[in-house]
Amino acid sequence: MTRRRTAVLISGRGSNMAALLTAARDPAYPAEIALVLANRADAGGLALAAAAGVPTAVVESRPFRGDRAAHEAAVQAVLEAHDIGLLCLAGYMRLLTPFLVGRWAGRMLNIHPSLLPAFPGLDTHARALAAGVKLHGCTVHLVTEEMDAGPILAQAAVPVLPGDDAASLGARVLAQEHVIYPMALALVAGRAATPPAADVALSNPLPTPPSLPKPQSSSE
């Protein structure tokens, strides 16, 4: 089996990147993580990738301030040098231009911490709490020029619990991001991944309610 050479783009700690690296350790997984690229030299995920033996690269965005297309051209050159076939955005905090989006149409994935199309953009957990929704979650989608609007590949939902704040809700969502991102990448890379069990994709941390006594039948 030819595994699709995949690059993961990060800006920070790279927890979703780590989930993809773990999945790709399986020789039967259809994608090989062949590069981790960051736009910040201090991105924590670079050390994780290097420790896993994955090539890393940094294309700092600060020197290109005001010229996003030029920065993306530099990124594209690195991707071509590593013969990359698929891209995964994993906490890559850059709003992409048509230059890169067009070149990777249908081959660039992103994970977003909400059940799209609800709550595109930033601060999704706080906005979900403010809206009073009862379910929140995450979405893997293909990247298009419109932000967080590409075709949906996978979603997972979690309950919003009494007493939740943005941090506790975000942690519950993040656990599901680590489940569905490897699954979605496998789908795009060419293998039909088995969906996770329902109790994984829909996490319910509430305790099992006690069984109620059966009502006694009344005699005539």
Annotated binding-site residue? 93: yes
- Residue 27: predicted pLDDT: 94
Annotated binding-site residue? 15: yes
What is the tens place of the pLDDT at every residue in 24-36?
999 999 999 999 9
Annotated binding-site residue? 191: no
80, amino acid identity: E
Separation in Å, CA 170 to CA 37, 58, 112, 124: 25, 28, 11, 9
pLDDT at 217 over 90: no
**Per-residue buried b or exposed e for 88-117, using 16+ beta carbons within 10 Å of the residue's own CB:** bbbbbeeebeeebbeebeebbbbbbbbbbe
Q: State the Cα–Cα distance between residues 109 and 182, nearest whole angstrom.
A: 11
CB 101 within 8 A of CB 144: yes
What is the tens place of the pLDDT at every residue in 36-51?
999 999 999 999 999 9
The two three-digit tokens of residue 142, written as one number:
């293909």
Q: State the Cα–Cα distance between residues 135 and 158, nearest whole angstrom.
A: 6
Side-chain-side CA neighbours of 112 within 13 Å: the count stands at 26
- Residue 220: predicted pLDDT: 45
pLDDT level of residue 190 (50, 70, 90 thresholds): confident
Separation in Å, CA 175 to CA 70, 101, 122, 172, 188: 35, 28, 18, 6, 21
Q: Among all residues, which ones are annotated catalytic?
A: 112
Annotated binding-site residue? 96: yes
What is the tens place of the pLDDT at every residue in 55-104?
999 999 999 988 999 999 999 999 999 999 999 999 999 999 999 999 99
